[in-house]
Amino acid sequence: MSAPLLDLPATGPRFPADRSGVAILGAGTIAQSAHLPAYAQHDVGVTGVWSRDPSRTAGIRDRFPGVGRVYASADELLADPEVRFVDLATGPEGRLAWLERIVDAGKHVLAQKPLVATSEDLAALPAVLARADAAGVRVAVNQNGRWAPPWRLTTLLLRRGDLGEVVGVTHVLDKALPPLVGTPFDDVRHMLLTDYLLHWVDVTRTWLATAPEGHGEVVAVRAYDSRVPGQPAAAKNPWSATVELSTAGGATATLRIAGNAVASEPSCPFWVHGTTGTARGSVLLDSDRLSLDHGDGVVDLPLRGAWFVDGFAATMGELMCAVAEDCQPENSAADAARSVALVLAAAASADADGAPVRVGAR
């Protein structure tokens, strides 16, 4: 059943009238495969880029004619008066130091996810964000998965009450893992829990948080990961991971990677069960879909856009709109830090053989 007459909220990126003045600090693989294509597609003005490795930016203006210049140094980028927004696309190591430099330069910043990767940096983050607030600088995080069309529409429908209060959320990754062996990602302990699943944890926390009166606050995390049959010996990280979230109001969520799944039609299906209805969908790999079921039939909802690259444009657009509207962005660093706390708790639980880790108080 289609849904042409439903009053559905828009899920795509939104921008203020002026979408200029972006500079990318750390123009590596993800910046060139997703950030720059997103900015080109959505007419975001890229003042320039910088990379610690000059070979990364060689020929970049030929590939992306919208890039104004290649900076000789990070200092030159931060000193440019035309730069209003810094897309901080480096890894999480040294993230707080970069944030402090950008804040001191008076630039708003969109930081790559994960915002931070250690409990020590997470504990130090509030002081950096207070420094940004004092300087009138907005800090957002590139949690681009929030704007994957099926996930984004689910979020907006939950916020307006279309499913009632969330009872449970389930995600299954029915797809092969990306190449990990020999990559820097494989050197990260509990990589699936702390990095790969962060988008899934983040959007799930966002859905649970739509519950009233703090009922959606995640208060406990249980997680475990394990090596699986067929996993090569050279792989340092386990290829199976499960995360379970429990909330103050009793709602729960489960996120599951069974292993390196063999699938002719790979997908990432999800279910959101609410007190008045159920949303069923999938993201990635041309599997995007979303339907609503209120017990009297299933309605297939139309979707527009794609996670890659609209989600990357949307995170910057949200930051720009927050600056123009003088408010905090939906993907603020303070909000994204709550998701980081959950994945760090998941790693701690895995280290404790799956024992629950408390992250809040009832």
> Would residue 128 count as lying in a domain?
yes
Query: Are 139 and 198 part of one and the same domain?
Result: no
Query: Are 130 and 152 part of one and the same domain?
Result: no
Domain that holds residue 77: 22-144
Q: Which of 19, 308, 3 is nearest to 149 (CA)?
A: 308
What does the alpha-carbon distance between residue 11 and residue 34 come to, in Å, rounded to a whole number?
A: 18
Q: How confident is the model at residue 6 (pLDDT cuts 50, 70, 90)?
A: low
Query: Are 100 and 172 part of one and the same domain?
Result: no
Q: What is the pLDDT of residues 65-74, one digit of tens each?
A: 999 999 999 9
Span 51-76, average pLDDT: 97
How far is Cα of residue 238 from the mean position of the Cα atoms in its chain?
Answer: 22
Question: What's 73's domain CATH number?
Answer: 3.40.50.720
Task: Return the minimum-mean-pLDDT range out of 115-124, 262-271, 353-362.
Answer: 353-362
Query: Are 169 and 275 part of one and the same domain?
Result: yes
Q: How confident is the model at residue 271 (pLDDT cuts 50, 70, 90)?
A: very high
Residue 362 reports pLDDT greater than 50 = no
Q: What is the pLDDT of residues 281-304, one digit of tens each?
A: 999 999 999 999 999 999 999 999
> Would residue 320 count as lying in a domain?
no
> Would residue 167 count as lying in a domain?
yes
The residues pairing with 222 across neighbouring beta strands, listed in sequence order, are: 244
Q: What is the pLDDT of residues 175-217, one digit of tens each?
A: 999 999 999 999 999 999 999 999 999 999 999 999 998 899 9
Residue 54 reports pLDDT greater than 90 = yes
Q: Which of 303, 299, 304, 267 is nearest to 285 (CA)?
A: 267
Q: What total of structural domains would you count in the chain?
A: 2
Give the model's pLDDT for residue 5. Answer: 41
Q: How confident is the model at residue 2 (pLDDT cuts 50, 70, 90)?
A: very low
Span 341-356, average pLDDT: 98
Span 152-167, average pLDDT: 97
Query: Are 202 and 76 part of one and the same domain?
Result: no
Residue 310 reports pLDDT greater than 90 = yes
Mean pLDDT taken over the chain:
96
User: How many percent of the chain have pLDDT more than 90?
Assistant: 97
| 63 within 8 A of 39, measured Cβ to Cβ | no
The DSSP string of 57-105 is HTTHHHH-TT---B-SSHHHHHH-TT--EEEE-S-STTHHHHHHHHHHT
The residues pairing with 255 across neighbouring beta strands, listed in sequence order, are: 171, 243
Query: Are 164 and 80 part of one and the same domain?
Result: no
The radius of gyration of the chain's CA atoms, rounded to the nearest angstrom, is 20
Give the model's pLDDT for residue 23. Answer: 98
The DSSP string of 338-357 is HHHHHHHHHHHHHHTTT--E
Query: Are 63 and 154 part of one and the same domain?
Result: no
Q: Which of 60, 154, 142 is nearest to 318 (CA)?
A: 142
Question: What's 222's domain CATH number?
Answer: 3.30.360.10
Give the model's pLDDT for residue 288. Answer: 98
325, burial (CB in 10 Å: exposed 0-12, middle 13-18, buried 19+): exposed
Q: Which of 48, 43, 33, 126 is nearest to 87 (CA)?
A: 48
> Would residue 14 count as lying in a domain?
no
Q: What is the pLDDT of residues 237-269, one digit of tens each?
A: 999 999 999 999 999 999 999 999 999 999 999
Indicate the residue type of 36. L
> Would residue 57 count as lying in a domain?
yes
Query: Are 70 and 217 part of one and the same domain?
Result: no
Query: Are 121 and 165 part of one and the same domain?
Result: no
Residue 4 reports pLDDT greater than 60 = no
Q: What is the pLDDT of residues 81-109, one digit of tens each?
A: 999 999 999 999 999 999 999 999 999 99
Q: Which of 81, 72, 119 is nearest to 347 (CA)?
A: 119
Domain C-terminal end among 144, 159, 183? 144
Query: Are 347 and 208 part of one and the same domain?
Result: yes
What does the alpha-carbon distance between residue 123 and residue 109 come to, in Å, rounded to a whole number?
A: 20
Give the model's pLDDT for residue 214. Answer: 87
Query: Are 131 and 180 part of one and the same domain?
Result: no
Query: Are 120 and 79 part of one and the same domain?
Result: yes
Q: Which of 113, 18, 100, 107 is nearest to 312 (CA)?
A: 113
What does the alpha-carbon distance between residue 178 and residue 266 come to, in Å, rounded to a whole number?
A: 12
> Would residue 342 count as lying in a domain?
yes
> Would residue 315 count as lying in a domain?
no
> Would residue 163 count as lying in a domain?
yes
| 34 within 8 A of 40, measured Cβ to Cβ | no
Give the model's pLDDT for residue 120. Answer: 98
Polymer length of the chain: 362
Domain C-terminal end among 117, 144, 171? 144
Phi, psi of 276 (to 5 degrees): -125, 0
Domain C-terminal end among 100, 123, 144? 144
